[in-house]
Amino acid sequence: MSYFDAASSAPLHPVARQALLASLDEGWADPSRLYREGRRARLLLDAAREAAAEAVGCRPDELSFTSSGTRAVHSGIAGALAGRRRIGRHLIVSAVEHSSVLHSTELFEVTEVPVSRTGAVSPQSYVDALRPDTALACLQSANHEVGTVQPVAEVAAVCRQAGVPLLVDAAQSLGWGPVEGEWSLLTASAHKWGGPSGVGLLAVRKGVRFSPQGPADERESGRAPGFENLPAIVAAAASLRAVRAEAAQEAVRLRELTARIRARVPRLVPDVDVVGDPEKRLPGIVTFSCLYVDGETLLHELDREGFSVSSGSSCTSSTLTPSHVLKAMGVLSEGNVRVSLPPGTTSEDVERFLEVLPGAVTAVRQKLGAPTPSAAVRDDSLVVDALGKRCPIPVIELAKVIGDVPVGGTVRVLSDDEAARLDIPAWCEMREQEYMGEEPADQGSAYVVRRIS
């Protein structure tokens, strides 16, 4: 079985396992106590904090351990906003932030910065979004779905000049290296780099106004209440140091493997859109979307062939709406596959994936078939009734009838699936047809496509 979903959770690093087992024997006592066992636990906690702070690029007293990366994000945003409540309640976030960031900002006034088709923000967009009442800006260091690296240093400079703190979600990138730029707050999650789950990092620079929220607690500077999970913290810090030592060499190897996937998938599988920045990207992530394919079904096919991958498609078991990241990028969401290679992935693993993928996609397309569209001819136009059908069916039906209208003619696709709003324009760009827009309909919406070739 080949595990290709390291961006969700990386396999436990051997150093993490060793440190975890060792600290179970040595680090079980309360590190706040003065007796021998407590002092021993305190030494372990202090050493872990120093190691993690060195990797992050901050002072040890600026870093706190939390119960997860999500908790670090929630605590970081809440504390920063509370510390600057006299400034205002306005936040700036990118449209492709992790859901933990977006959910944390729901009760505030938010400006969402758009991204390019590669998933990157423009620093100028942050300049344009700044206001006198802006209390906080947020930006991920790299995207979790498509791997695009963000211009954090440039955005941090913009925010610093305006006197606005920048919180960076570094969950995906911290294992590969420190985050550049003068950021104010940083969060991360240990299970993303091969540490144990249940450990997050929250770094708050000295001088940043920060007011921890919730009931007061003396632990972790009041930023993470509750008894520290010391064995997991020690394992997280030890594994972060270990993966950093291996990062430069492993990055070169994984970049070659992901470049191979990016180059060969479009040649092996017709009607595929490889998304994300081709150069400014994390080493191990490559994402692509397949026309006329249901994402969940494709994941099951690949699972049967021995590959564990993830998907940002709308038709997955966890959601019935398209990935907000792919939607913000304006790229195809149907049949989406994210391959995120863990350290140690071999060339043979990738070659076998490339051998299996074309057959898996073909099998899914055959299972879905091409339903006979309910089409009514109206002069030089067709109306395709795809109401009640989930993507990719509306796109399949559009593809089947576009050749039935003359060049210059139109097809109106009636659909009540939200994913069609993203996937039909993406299909038009891939197939070099003109997307004319969305019109209201008695049910759902009518998506109008003009045939130009």
Catalytically active residues are: 315
Measure the CA–CA gap between 328 and 311, rounded to whole angstroms.
Answer: 16
> Residues of 185-202 as b/e, b for ≥16 C-beta within 10 angstroms?
bbbbbbbbbbbbbbbbbb
Write out the two tokens for 288: 């692509």
- Reported as type and span, the H/E element at residue 286 is strand 285-290
3-state secondary structure of 257: helix
Q: Extract long-range pairs of 432-436: CB within 8 Å, 24+ residues apart.
A: 433/402, 436/410
Strand partners, 64: 202
- The DSSP 8-state label assigned to residue 222 in this structure reads G
| Angle subtended by helix axes 36-56 and 230-268, to nearest 10 | 30
Strand partners, 288: 274, 337
Measure the CA–CA gap between 180 and 277, rounded to whole angstroms.
Answer: 19
| Angle subtended by helix axes 347-368 and 230-268, to nearest 10 | 60
- The DSSP 8-state label assigned to residue 141 in this structure reads S
Q: Which amino acid is at 431?
A: R
- The DSSP 8-state label assigned to residue 18 in this structure reads H
Task: Determine contact, residues 395/424, Cβ cutoff 8 Å.
Answer: yes
Task: Determine contact, residues 95/139, Cβ cutoff 8 Å.
Answer: no
Cβ neighbour number for residue 378 with a 10 Å cutoff: 12
Task: Determine contact, residues 121/66, Cβ cutoff 8 Å.
Answer: no
Give the distance from CA 216 to its chain's centroid. Answer: 32
Task: Determine contact, residues 286/254, Cβ cutoff 8 Å.
Answer: no
Strand partners, 142: 149
- CA angle 392/172/112 to nearest 5° reads 65
Task: Determine contact, residues 201/66, Cβ cutoff 8 Å.
Answer: yes
Task: Determine contact, residues 50/233, Cβ cutoff 8 Å.
Answer: no
Nearest to 165 by CA among 209, 128, 133: 209
